[in-house]
Amino acid sequence: MALEALVFDVDGTLAETERDGHRVAFNRAFSKVGLPWFWGAELYDAMLPIAGGKERMHHYANTYQPLTASDPNFAQLVTRTHALKTEFYLERVATGGIPLRPGVAALIKEARERGLRLAIATTTAPENAAALLTSTLGDDAMAWFEVVGAGDIVPHKKPSPDIYQWVLDRLSIGPAQALACEDSAIGLAAATAADIPTIVTPSNHARGHHFDGAAAVMDSLEGTTVDNLIQIHARATAGMDAIH
């Protein structure tokens, strides 16, 4: 089965957005709405397996702030706080504060030139993904991605395969025609649960994760070419044929 499309995760894979982007924006939003919460780097890393900002806030409150979580207006507060957090995150990205990880831009550009189809499968809000891509790759960058699966468009976030299945449906391809690029254990779990061969470039908060089942694990995409990916994909799909 030939490789037809690359499906990129965003946070952690394209850029190290979490600790210095999302985390900082959450803390600014907490203080703006008067919530006496502060998410330090270690606590934040431990909460990253809960995908989605609103889901992460609910998880944190249920675990550490049960009184706040039991307030009947808490869900509304989460929605309001998360909207502010998105504003702060966008501000940060717009100032060019978050660069792409090494090799990402070169690989995306080569993939376009070689006619590979490109897509996004992320848990973060669509405006966050668009802001990162346009601030780093240029104003027309969103047009490079045929399908953008992001945020609340599917009911269950990673590690559920929903977002990857949604993207495959819209690309009208089977999982073995795609290669996913992820940075974390939950991202890998989501893509492989959708049967997509997956390469992992662990982000700085995912260094200790286990990546069993990955088609390849690499420090970064620096120096990785489309030919490398075609080889990895061919090996992985040959393995899949042998298993199924």
Please report how close the Cβ of residue 67 comes to Mg ion at its closest, in angstroms. Answer: 32
Query: Residue 27 touches which of Mg ion, ligand XBP, none (CB < 5 to 8 A by kind)?
Result: none
From 5, 6, 8, 11, residue interacting with Mg ion (rule: CB under 5 A): 11
Please report how close the Cβ of residue 242 comes to ligand XBP at its closest, in angstroms. Answer: 30
Q: Is 12 in the site for Mg ion (CB under 5 A)?
A: yes
Strand partners, 120: 8, 148
C-alpha pair distances (Å), 75 with each of 34, 57, 70, 226: 15, 10, 10, 44
Please report how close the Cβ of residue 132 comes to Mg ion at its closest, in angstroms. Answer: 12
Task: Calculate ∠ Cα 224-228-234, nearest 5°.
Answer: 145
C-alpha pair distances (Å), 45 with each of 12, 54, 183: 12, 16, 13
Structure tokens at 34: 């008067």
Tell me the backbone φ, ψ of residue 95, rounded to 5 degrees. Answer: -80, 10
From 3, 24, 39, 52, residue interacting with ligand XBP (rule: CB under 6 A): 52
Q: What is the three-class DSSP state of 66?
A: helix
9 labelled catalytic: yes
Q: Is 53 in the site for ligand XBP (CB under 6 A)?
A: yes
Please report how close the Cβ of residue 211 comes to ligand XBP at its closest, in angstroms. Answer: 14
Tell me the backbone φ, ψ of residue 15, rounded to 5 degrees. Answer: -155, 155
20 labelled catalytic: no
Q: End-to-end alpha-carbon separation of the chain, Å?
A: 14
From 29, 100, 107, 125, residue interacting with ligand XBP (rule: CB under 6 A): 125
What does the binding site for ligand XBP look like in residue numbers (CB under 6 A)? 9-12, 18, 22, 51-53, 122-125, 128, 158, 187
What does the binding site for Mg ion look like in residue numbers (CB under 5 A)? 9, 11-12, 183-184, 187
* Residues known to be catalytic: 9, 11
